[in-house]
Amino acid sequence: MDNKEKKAFMLLKSVILHYHGLDEDEERMLNESADKLEAHVELQWANNFIAQDLESAFDRSRDFLNEVIGRLEKNQRLSYLNSVWQDNNRKGYITEMEATAMLNLAKDWKVHEELMELVKE
């Protein structure tokens, strides 16, 4: 995974987890992901990107994510979305807004049906 892909993955996780403000558990999950990928610089970049304008963060992120992740192999796109879905599940709930955001990205990336199958499991 190159730096641009790390930025995109950390942005994906961060923008979804920021939907209702970032609590301690969500921040811990982001840091754990950054630890695994050695991507703390990329996580900081993602958080700064979101902080520039919280209201437009998802739309701005969506453009960047479609450019980077949207071009990856189908199984990789699905893996990234599933990872974010599972992180949200770990916190005990997924809000309607978070789910909708992830499903919109799944549609953009043409992995909607596959993500729904994974989520059902």
What pLDDT sits at residue 90?
Answer: 85
Is pTM beyond 0.95 here?
no
Closest CA to 30 of 50, 48, 11, 49: 11
> What tokens does 10 get?
């950390």
Domains of the chain, residue spans: 3-120
Average pLDDT over residues 86-111: 90
List the alpha helices (DSSP H) in 18-95: 24-37, 40-51, 57-68, 74-90
- Output 10 or 89, whichever has higher pLDDT: 10
Residue 68 CB coordination number (10 Å): 18
Judged against a pLDDT cut of 80, whether residue 121 lies above it is answered with no
10-53 per-position pLDDT tens digit: 999 999 988 777 888 889 999 999 999 999 999 999 999 999 99
Judged against a pLDDT cut of 80, whether residue 9 lies above it is answered with yes
Q: What mean pLDDT, rounded, does the chain reach?
A: 91
- Name the percent of the chain lying above pLDDT 90: 71
Q: Which residues contact 43 (CB under 8 A, 6 or more apart)?
A: 10, 14, 30, 31, 33, 34
Average pLDDT over residues 90-114: 91
